[in-house]
A = this chain, B = another copy of it.
Amino acid sequence: MPQGQPLVVPNDGLTTKARRNAPILAVHTGPGKGKSTAAFGMALRAWNQGFDIAVFQFVKSAKWKVGEEAAFQTLGRLHDEQGVGGPVQWHKMGSGWSWTRRQGSDEDHAAAAVEGWAEISRRLAAEQHDFYVLDEFTYPLKWGWLDIDEVVTTLTERPGTQHVVITGRDAPPQLLDAADLVTEMTKVKHPMDAGRKGQRGIEW
């Protein structure tokens, strides 16, 4: 782990404290595993600090994140009932966004992505949460469902100290340019290459 020693001290007129509180825009990309898992690990740490957590799952792959969702719903209840950690909201695109209360299939995935991003934009403007996970958000960008320039502008001009972590393969260059922290997960070896299937407690 880094020992907290910056390589350079920027001439930006900010105090160390101001710089320390600067909100982070992080991107986990690349073909390897651990992009979402590391984002949820960050969210766990933020939850422990009492941060208000909101997860937005783009792309219909609900099956793969039920473990994280259940764990974070448990953590959110722990906050609500015992005041431990921070509050948690978990929204997913797969069967209609939670806040819309429309359940059922989203036939038009592009429209659902646009709707999800519009809600996130409103929440960022309102400084509604402290820590956002936009899971697999690179795909609607890659597929052209969202305007990358508008997304980057909204993210970089977000008010306050809201942290945002975005995951997914093939993050667009504009997003990487805008990010404070970019980690690429590279697949070196994967058990599915050896014919294994996903398993309980490991994949979900």
Contacts and interface: CB of A to CB of B under 8 A. Distances in A.
A199 B21 contact: yes
Q: State the oligomeric state as a number of copies.
A: 2
A8 B195 contact: yes
Interface in A1-60: 1-10, 12, 16, 19-22, 24, 28, 30, 32-34, 36-42, 44-49, 51
B33 A183 contact: yes
Given A181-B191, A186-B30, A197-B6, A42 B48 contact: no
B68 A41 contact: yes
A49 to B, nearest CB: 4
B189 A32 contact: no
A131 interface: yes
A183 to B, nearest CB: 4
Given A34-B34, A183-B188, A186-B186, A196 B20 contact: yes
Interface string A172-203: 00001001111111111111111111111111
Interface residues of A, number: 78
A198 to B, nearest CB: 5
A44 B67 CA distance: 8
A74 interface: yes
A20 B43 CA distance: 29
Q: Closest 9 CB pairs between A and B?
A: A37-B41, A34-B38, A41-B41, A10-B195, A182-B188, A45-B67, A49-B201, A38-B38, A182-B189
Interface of A: 1-10, 12, 16, 19-22, 24, 28, 30, 32-34, 36-42, 44-49, 51, 61, 64, 67-68, 70-71, 74-75, 78, 84-85, 130-131, 136, 163, 176, 179-204
